[in-house]
Structure 1
Amino acid sequence: MTRAMVLGLLLKSGPMSGYEIQQKMISAQTDKWAYVQPASIYHALKKLDQEGFVALETLEQTGNRSKAIYSITAEGKQELKRLLVNAFQNSSVSFPTDLYTALTFMDEAELDDIILALEKQQQAIEKVYEDMKAGQEEKAKIMEIPQNVLYIFQNIYEQCELQMGFINKLKEDFLTLKQTGSHIK
């Protein structure tokens, strides 16, 4: 999705440098909800430029540094449309495969260690949830949040709540197992 993110930002915000794109991505926390790392945009820009989807508009000199300003091309707009349609088409269901694998072989680990690990995972999910809520509140202070962005926030919250519910159920069941000295059958 890095390519779509870069092309989309150039289309919506106009010509920018890699650094400016990176700053927009950081402020939007794309690493949390789109798994797009801000540092990956430089590689994406280079590839998109080679493929003709972005164009080097100007090369600005500031002190000893030069800053490349890129813009999206007509071909880049078509590529963005293609990437977006593919993203809507692809399955958006993502399973917690690490957790499922751990559950499969959980009898090889200590129950106390598993419960502690689940508590750490729960804290990490709660942090994502709180960070997203804070981000939404900050965004709402400076602008009216478009409905398509509200859909993203809502889905993130629902995903976090679903996973926290599952982890709570596991913790409760495992604590019961620990208290009764039973094993998973």
Structure 2
Amino acid sequence: MTRLMVLGLLKSKPMSGYEIQQLLTKSQTDAWAGILPGSIYHALKKMEKEALVEIDSIEQTGNRSKAIYKITAAGEKEFSQLLVEALQVSSVHLPSQLYTGLSFIHYLEKDEIRQALQNQQLLLEAQLAQQKAGIEVKRNHMPMDEVTEMLFQNVFKQYELQLDLIGNLIRHYES
């Protein structure tokens, strides 16, 4: 996922590793894409060795310098291949840990169940709020096309669907 994301962002414009990291973090893309901040620098170095990206320029700020990377022709080819593969992978990932826990929920006391579910609810609500803040950051940094808007709306619906299940379970165990 990291390679696809980095190559895709570099396809739009040359960027430093720090710029990529900041964009992913501020837009909350790193959360749903599962990209760890340190993996960006590792991916850039590895892809540079593979000639998928190259240094476009070096920017100096005081005593620090940062490399601005751009995608190469080989990188564009790799990006296209990764993109096609990503579109073919199953897009449904069930919350298997939660479902497994629910399979054995009868071994807990009602108070423990309610507390655990309420904690899950609070976590999901916080994550949804972060995702909604992320779309605003992304809108402020770059134009949002229709597909990206649909993507964010789908992410929101996934959280809302899970929150609906948790809410129903809480109500069930309160009665």
Per the normalisation by structure 2, the TM-score is 0.89
Residue 103 (structure 2) aligns with:
104
Q: Once structures 1 and 2 are overlaid, which stretch shifts more, 41-50 or 57-66?
A: 57-66
- The whole-number CA distance in structure 2 between the counterparts of 1:141 and 1:59 is 26
SS at match of 1:52: coil
The one-letter code sitting in structure 2 at the alignment partner of 1:7 is L
Task: Read off the aligned partner of 2:64 and give its amino acid letter.
Answer: R
Q: Which residue in 2 is equivalent to 1:161?
A: 160
SS of 2:121 mapped into structure 1: helix
* Residue 37 of structure 1, CA deviation: 2.4
**CA offsets per residue over residues 91-132 of structure 1, 9 Å max, x none?**
010111111121122233332122111111111211222232
| Equivalent residues, number | 175
Q: Does residue 88 of structure 2 align to residue 71 of structure 1? A: no
Aligned to 2:116: 117
1:36-63 deviation per Cα after TM superposition (whole angstroms, max 9, x unaligned): 2233201111111121111123344444
Offset, 1:31? 2.1
Q: Secondary structure of 1:115's match?
A: helix
The 1:93–1:20 alpha-carbon spacing in structure 2 relative to 1, beyond 3 Å, is same
Question: Structure 1 unaligned runs (5+)?
Answer: 177-185
Q: Evaluate the alpha carbon distance shift between residue 144 and residue 64 of structure 1 in structure 2; reply closer, same or farther with a 3 A threshold.
A: closer
State whether structure 2 residue 3 is matched by structure 1 residue 7. no
Deviating beyond 6 angstroms after TM superposition, the runs of 4 or more aligned structure 1 residues are: none
Aligned-pair identity (%): 50
* Gap change, CA 1:150 and 1:119, over 3 Å in 2: same
Higher relative contact order (CA 8 A, sep 6+): 2
User: Larger Rg: 1 or 2?
Assistant: 1
1:17-36 → structure 2 map (5 Å cutoff): 17-36=16-35
Q: Which letter maps to 2:80?
A: K
In the alignment, structure 2 segments of 5+ residues that lack a partner are none
For 1:8, the aligned partner's letter is: G
Instruction: Output the TM-score relative to the length of structure 1.
Output: 0.84
Q: 1:108 to 1:155 in 2, by over 3 A?
A: same
